[in-house]
């Protein structure tokens, strides 16, 4: 929370600029854009049975390792069989396909609608989980793949990211099928198997298939931020953030190949030192800040909910001009750069993630490699980033190659569209009106980026439909002691149950 207090101090200092800056127009409306008066809906679920099924799902170690040769096919086969056994009506009624190239472990479910002329909707989630760092095992209160239910929580890797969303969707569907429900429009479920390594085998392949089948997708929902109180600086209330755009993904390998030798006869500069200098130059050459359209939308919704004294700066951001940067927008940069999450919203980020060189303490390695991961803003293509890196390094000994399933920054979904309104309504029907709902710019990414970067799926929204108790609870996401509240998992099921009804009005 110290970072947040520094943010508040900087925000206060920005107020001195307000009187002298008039770049934003007083004519622009900056009143609340929150829905009002939505009646809460209680959905009765078999919470004990649902919790037990998710508990069992966590036990399947469907891990995505960085080394793709290290892949446990049996874990995915067994998990697929478990899904079939657990949701008999789903598998009797919906068509299930196993897709992926070269490994077909992603799932596409097709729930035929009454009106086949309507563009379909897609619900997404992913089966795979990140591995457990061996050095962190003694920090877990339970075995990471135990699926233990204790103290009111379901524990284990995948309980939050992202099997809870798979199972909430399937639980809701099973309930609907028991009631004889059939949606108006076709609903597709896309459950990828390699999201944690970018989704090149699974979701990308699924997007290729569905783009051939459908001219248009009306609505896509995938995972992202859960509901968390106090998640954003300046807002203490419970917040539901709906992702409307995602940054891209590029990983570059920087390598040097030269003479090795014996450590007793070192050259003036070893390959390791040369590479380290190159990487240091890349990290120093940060991309400039700019305000993405999704960030402007975010503050049109979120800004009016902030304390009144802070609103001039956020209004300047919300209605700014991309061709100029006002003094208030510059102050916004200064405020946001103090926090690593908010800073990442403002530019293409540079992260050195891997360094590999040497096999023995008395041998000079003939080669050394490093991997730098970038999360690009729009316009920063892999080609642009490679040229940026070459210019920063200025050393022709270094070779640079794209080693990732690179994806560009995505299109921006409409925060005023019917899909967004439907999501906000369903959120308020499930969790009530005492929260703030806002679009936001996703600094990471999910499998839905393979849809959102294409024109046939213009409205892709991301959120994880689970309420967390606090920001600290979010530390389990890729961390230790991943868990969700059993009671809140029941609300997640209710959310998808209600969303399936609301889709009829899309």
Catalytic residues: 128, 195
Q: How far is CA 314 from CA 17, 77, 231, 310, in A?
A: 13, 50, 17, 7
| DSSP collapsed to 3 states, 393-445 | HCCCCEEEEECCCCECCCCCCCCCCHHHHHHHHHHHHHHCCCCEEEEEEECCC
H/E stretch holding 316 reads helix 311-318
- Examine residue 102 and say whether the peptide bond preceding it is cis (omega within 30 degrees of 0): yes
Which of 231-237's residues contact partners 24+ apart within 8 Å by CB, and which partners?
A: 231/471, 231/474, 232/302, 233/4, 233/7, 233/8, 233/339, 233/342, 234/7, 234/8, 234/11, 234/306, 234/307, 234/310, 235/302, 235/305, 235/306, 235/436, 237/305, 237/434, 237/435, 237/436
Token digits for 351?
């992260």
CA distance 306 to 312: 10
**Tokens 């609301």, located at residue:** 502
Q: Which residue has the tokens 């642009």?
A: 384
Question: Mapping DSSP to helix (H, G, I), strand (E, B) and coil, where does residue 164 land?
Answer: helix
């Amino acid at each position: 929370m110290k970072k947040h207090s520094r943010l508040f101090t900087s925000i206060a200092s920005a107020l001195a600029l307000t009187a002298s800056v008039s770049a934003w127009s007083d004519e622009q409306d900056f009143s609340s854009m929150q829905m009002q008066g939505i009646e809460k809906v209680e959905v009765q679920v078999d919470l004990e049975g649902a919790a037990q099924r998710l508990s069992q799902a966590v036990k399947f170690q469907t891990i995505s390792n960085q080394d793709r040769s290290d892949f446990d096919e049996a874990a995915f086969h067994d998990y697929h069989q478990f899904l079939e056994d657990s949701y008999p009506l789903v598998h009797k009624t919906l068509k299930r396909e196993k897709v992926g190239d070269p490994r077909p472990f992603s799932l596409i479910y097709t729930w035929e609608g009454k009106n086949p002329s309507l563009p379909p909707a897609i619900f997404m989630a992913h089966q795979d989980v990140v591995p457990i760092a061996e050095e962190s095992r003694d920090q877990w209160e339970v075995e990471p793949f135990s699926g233990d239910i204790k103290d009111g929580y379901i524990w284990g890797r995948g309980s939050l990211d992202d099997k809870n969303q798979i199972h909430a969707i399937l639980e809701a569907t099973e309930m609907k099928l028991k009631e004889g429900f059939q949606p108006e429009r076709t609903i597709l479920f896309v459950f990828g198997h390699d999201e944690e390594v970018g989704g090149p085998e699974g979701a990308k392949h699924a997007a290729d298939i569905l783009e051939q089948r459908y001219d248009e997708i009306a609505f896509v929902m995938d995972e992202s931020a859960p509901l968390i109180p106090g998640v954003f600086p300046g807002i203490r209330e419970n917040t539901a953030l709906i992702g409307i755009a995602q940054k891209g993904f590029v990983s570059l390998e920087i390598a040097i190949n030269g003479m090795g030798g014996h450590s007793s006869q070192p050259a003036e500069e070893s390959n390791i030192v040369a590479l380290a200098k190159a990487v240091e130059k890349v990290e120093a050459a940060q991309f400039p800040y700019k305000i993405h359209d999704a960030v402007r939308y975010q503050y049109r919704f979120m800004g009016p909910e902030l304390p009144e004294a802070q609103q001039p700066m956020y209004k300047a951001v919300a209605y700014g001009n991309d061709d100029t940067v006002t003094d208030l927008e510059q102050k916004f940069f200064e405020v946001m750069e103090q926090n690593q999450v908010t800073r990442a919203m403002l530019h293409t980020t540079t992260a050195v993630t891997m360094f590999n060189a040497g096999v023995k303490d008395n041998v000079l390695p003939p080669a050394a490699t490093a991997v730098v991961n970038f999360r690009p803003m729009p316009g920063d293509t892999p080609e642009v980033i490679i040229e940026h890196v070459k210019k920063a390094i200025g050393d022709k000994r270094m070779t640079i190659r794209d080693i990732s399933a690179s994806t560009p920054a995505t299109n921006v979904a409409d925060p005023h569209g019917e899909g967004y309104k439907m999501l906000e309504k369903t959120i308020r029907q499930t969790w009530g009106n005492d929260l703030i709902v806002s679009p936001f710019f996703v600094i990471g990414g999910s499998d839905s980026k393979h849809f959102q970067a294409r024109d046939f799926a213009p409205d892709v929204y991301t959120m994880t439909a689970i309420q967390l108790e606090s920001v600290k609870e979010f530390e389990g996401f890729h961390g230790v002691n991943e868990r969700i509240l059993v009671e809140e998992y029941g609300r997640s099921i209710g959310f998808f149950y209600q969303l399936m009804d609301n889709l009829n009005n899309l």
